[in-house]
């Protein structure tokens, strides 16, 4: 018993004494400190300098448009796609379908729908909502299936897709 008490005291005393020893400090004044000249930095590579951020103040102040079309995208098609997104997310009955639908905006406002809806009524509402977006000329919903997914990633068709 005495041996285990001594052992425990030793294991507690060792870290405590180290902590106390490290906690003592010497005070130095600024008069004691000496500073040398600032080091000169030299290039470590022979490559030319590359800037990530612009140094041109006029470019730095220009705001960016988050809704601007990406490079290579047709601005007219992009605005139609954004209108479709806004229409689907604004309607609370159609908003949950967003993760199961995809819309491709083609040339001249032709929209192709793909995905799965639960009923033919939902299919018709999606088609009508998208057809009402400004810039949409035609809606092809042949890729929009009606039914529910069941196990094994197969579609259980509840209703015929005919109109």
**Tens of pLDDT, residues 83-107:** 888 888 888 887 776 667 888 888 8
Average pLDDT, the chain: 77
Q: Quote the pLDDT of residue 149.
A: 63
Looking at the predicted structure, is the pLDDT value of residue 62 above 80? no
User: Do 115 and 144 meet the contact criterion of CB atoms below 8 Å apart?
Assistant: yes
The three-class DSSP label of residue 117 is strand
Over range 141-155, report the average pLDDT. 73
pLDDT bin (cut points 50, 70, 90) of residue 161 is very low
How many residues make up the chain in this entry? 163
Q: Quote the pLDDT of residue 36.
A: 78
Domains and their CATH numbers in the chain: 75-156 (3.30.1340.30)
Separate counts of helices (H) and strands (E) for the chain: 4, 5
Looking at the predicted structure, is the pLDDT value of residue 28 above 70? no
Q: Which two tokens stand for residue 38?
A: 């600032």
List phi, psi (to 5°) of 27.
-90, 135
Count of CB atoms situated within 10 Å of the CB of 30 = 7
């Amino acid at each position: 018993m005495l041996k285990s008490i001594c052992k425990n005291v030793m294991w507690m005393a060792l870290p405590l004494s180290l902590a106390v020893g490290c906690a003592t400090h010497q005070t130095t004044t600024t008069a004691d400190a000496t500073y040398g000249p600032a080091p000169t930095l030299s290039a470590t590579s022979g490559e030319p300098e590359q800037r990530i951020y612009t140094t041109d103040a006029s470019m730095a102040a220009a705001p960016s448009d988050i809704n601007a079309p990406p490079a290579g995208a047709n601005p007219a098609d992009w605005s139609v796609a954004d209108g479709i997104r806004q229409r689907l997310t604004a309607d609370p009955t159609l908003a949950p379908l967003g993760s199961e639908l995809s819309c491709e905006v083609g040339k001249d406002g032709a929209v192709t729908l793909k995905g799965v809806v639960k009923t033919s009524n939902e299919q018709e509402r999606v088609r009508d909502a998208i057809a009402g977006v400004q810039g949409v000329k035609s809606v092809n919903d042949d890729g929009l299936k009606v039914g529910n997914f069941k196990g094994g990633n197969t579609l259980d068709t509840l209703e015929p897709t005919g109109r």
